[in-house]
Amino acid sequence: MVLFIVCALHVGDATSATAWLHSVGQQLEALSTTTRIPRRVELCQPQSIEPYLLCDRECYLQNIALCKEKIEAGDSYEICLTNRVRVPTQATDNAQLFETYLTLREINPAPYACYLKDEQCSILCSSPERFLKIDRRGQVEARPIKGTMPRDPDPERDAENKDRLRSDKRFFSENLMIVDLLRSDLSRSCVPGTVTVPDIMKVESYATVHQLVSTIRGDLQGSVSQCIARCFPGGSMTGAPKRRTLEIINDIEGEPRGVYSGAIGYLSINGTADLNIVIRTIVIDKDHAEIGVGGAITYLSDPQQEYDEMLLKAIAPFSAVAQLINVDVPRPSPVLAEDVAI
């Protein structure tokens, strides 16, 4: 493994930059080189997650019904409804937090994973989804995920799940609407006529799920920051049309999602950027670990299937954080639908 230490500096400020690079290099060299033995973590069952849902089954099914009412009334085509799993945790030190992150990566290897920590909280992310990438040539790429099926240890059933993901009309409509939304978002910041969809409805398989992924590209016209602002928040976590659907989500969910469904990544001084969508993520503060989960609701959605899909997406992060559960702390009371401002 090779590590690169990078420092941006003002002209004439080389002395302090060199000192910083030397200091960081010494700290890295002092780190233990002991080989870590991966932990074998059994994946939890969906029923293990249910006691920790802030919006329990009845609440979530009622929220799905509200989404379908809005869709039937013509207010939206697709509403990306979310829920939260909140787990009381024991006091954790830096080593425990990082060990939990490594466990999450082992359970759910993903290309846009990251670990962030400050004084208030720690973010343990194993996201498989790209929000936006902008390269040196000015090509913009979005890769929304819509459509999820579980993996199965039996190869034949696993293949059947993949086939269903490709052929199910509900998953097709979910993905197609988000592709159209992203085409619209990119067209606001790309050269006219350059927005294309080179891959549509492609199945990608991860440790616990199969996902339906599409790719939308265009040639940047204008600034990187302007493009990101025009596309934010990611359409795969909002629905379509975006503005009206965000208003509906705000009314139904009742409070901000936090970092979940936002974006983590980098913006470089060379004009490039790469940002993920914050899913499959654990946010840990001094008392609780929180996991955001959800799914896209369309007119064709089956409420029980949507509820099951929401739990499926929580399995990997919940299994990683289960080791931190403080069993002496009472489990949280669920938020009932009538307690949420509609």
Check residue 15 and give its pLDDT. Answer: 83
The answer to whether the peptide bond before residue 334 is cis (omega within 30 degrees of 0) is no
Residue 82: CB atoms within 10 Å: 21
Residue environment code for 306-330, b if the CB has 16+ CB neighbours within 10 A, otherwise e: bbebbbbbbbbbbbbbbebbeeeee
Q: Residue 80 forms beta bridges with which residues?
A: 296
**Mean pLDDT, rounded, for 110-137:** 94
Helix (H, G, I), strand (E, B) or coil at 47: helix
Q: Which helix (H) or strand (E) holds 182?
A: helix 169-187
User: What's the CA gap between 151 and 32, in Å, rounded?
Assistant: 36
Check residue 125 and give its pLDDT. Answer: 97
Helix (H, G, I), strand (E, B) or coil at 171: helix
Catalytically annotated residues: 129, 146
**Mean pLDDT, rounded, for 224-229:** 96
229-250: pLDDT as tens digits: 999 999 999 999 999 999 999 9
Which range of 36-45, 62-71, 286-295 scores highest in mean pLDDT? It is: 62-71
Check residue 34 and give its pLDDT. Answer: 65
**pTM for the structure as a whole:** 0.86
Q: Residue 323 forms beta bridges with which residues?
A: none
For the ranges 206-210, 213-217, 235-239, 266-270, the lowest mean pLDDT is seen at 206-210
Domain ranges of the chain: 42-128+279-326, 132-233+271-277
Structure tokens at 295: 């799914």
84-123: pLDDT as tens digits: 999 998 767 888 898 899 999 999 989 999 999 988 899 9
Instruction: With a cut of 50, say whether residue 332 has pLDDT above it.
Output: no
Check residue 157 and give its pLDDT. Answer: 93
SS3 content of the chain, % helix, strand, coil (to 5): 40, 25, 35
Angle in degrees, 0-180, between the axes of helices 169-187 and 224-231, rounded to the nearest 10: 140
Structure tokens at 78: 């697709």
Q: Which of 106, 250, 251, 241 is nearest to 181 (CA)?
A: 241
Residue 161: CB atoms within 10 Å: 18
Q: Longest C-alpha distance within the chain, in Å? A: 64
Strands (E), 209-277: 209-219, 239-240, 265-267, 273-276
Q: What is the dihedral of CA 195, 199, 200, 205, to 10 degrees?
A: -140
* Gyration radius of the chain's alpha carbons: 21
Residue 263: CB atoms within 10 Å: 23
User: What's the CA gap between 101 and 282, in Å, rounded?
Assistant: 9
The answer to whether 165 touches 171, Cβ cutoff 8 Å, is yes
Residue 73 Cα distances to 38, 169, 182, 239, angstroms: 51, 21, 24, 15
291-323: pLDDT as tens digits: 999 999 999 999 999 999 999 999 999 999 987
Sheet holding 288-297, edge to edge: 112-117, 122-127, 281-284, 288-297, 78-88, 239-240
